[in-house]
Amino acid sequence: MAYKFLAAALMPINVILALGGAALVLAARKKARAAAGTGAAAFLLLLAVATPAIPNAMVASLERRYPPVAPQHSVSADAIVVLGGCLAPERPPRLSAELVDSSDRLLHAARLYRAGKAPVVLASGGAVPWTSSSRPEAEEMAAFLVEWGVPRTAILVDARSRTTWENAVETERILKTRGARSLLLVTSAIHMPRAMAAFRTMGLSITPSPTDYLVTDPEAAPYLEWFPSPGSVSRFQAALWERGGLLYYRLRGWTR
């Protein structure tokens, strides 16, 4: 969990705010040159983060490692494993958990099941300590899977894991008791490199089945990628988060 808090603190938007604040303090202390340099650094970082061409390239370099495969063309496996982080928790005024951008993971897992690619779906995701929800996300995921045509008897629930590494550990533990050794791993395309790196250490036969692509072929003129936009900031931070996560997992020996 320490990595998550440290990584959140070092996200570009927080660094930009810190640099901007430092520039103001330096200016107030009549240190004009230092204030100008710090302010310029904040501006250039903001420009890089907000210009679509840069975050899109960073995201695409992760997403294109594992190309998409339509459910009907997928290989078969002993289980479909879909990772959490794909629902907004039930909190007032919400009446239940709600779908978010990454909820494509759940729909893709349901489609794989309905295509007959595995007899069971494992929903993997516990309650994380920085949210007010005490109900494991996997239970909410199971409810959506049932709505989308997966029988409750075909759904396994991992309600303990809170990180990608724990997803891998708990998946191996649960599937081992059922004699399952092959799986279709479903998560967002940008997250798949880190997920595959962690799951490979478990000795399972894994086929990636990515979804939820953030970067697509451009619909508009390419030059528009050089005009700053608010959405670019979140893509930049997502790419940085995943690259930082990969580095952290390597340092911990959690990858193969």
- The string of pLDDT tens digits covering residues 212-247 is 999 988 765 677 788 899 889 999 999 999 999 999
Q: Residue 134: its pLDDT value, please?
A: 64
Fold topology of 71-208 = Rossmann fold (3.40.50)
Q: What percent of the chain has pLDDT over 70?
A: 93
Interatomic CA distance for residues 169 and 244, integer angstroms: 20
Confidence of residue 182 (pLDDT cuts 50, 70, 90): very high
Question: What per-residue confidence (pLDDT) applies to 219?
Answer: 61
- What local confidence, expressed as pLDDT, does residue 91 receive? 86
Q: Which residue ranges make up each domain of the chain?
A: 2-63+229-252, 71-208
Alpha helices in 148-254 (DSSP H): 164-177, 192-199, 230-252
Mean pLDDT of 12-34: 95
CB 169 within 8 A of CB 202: yes
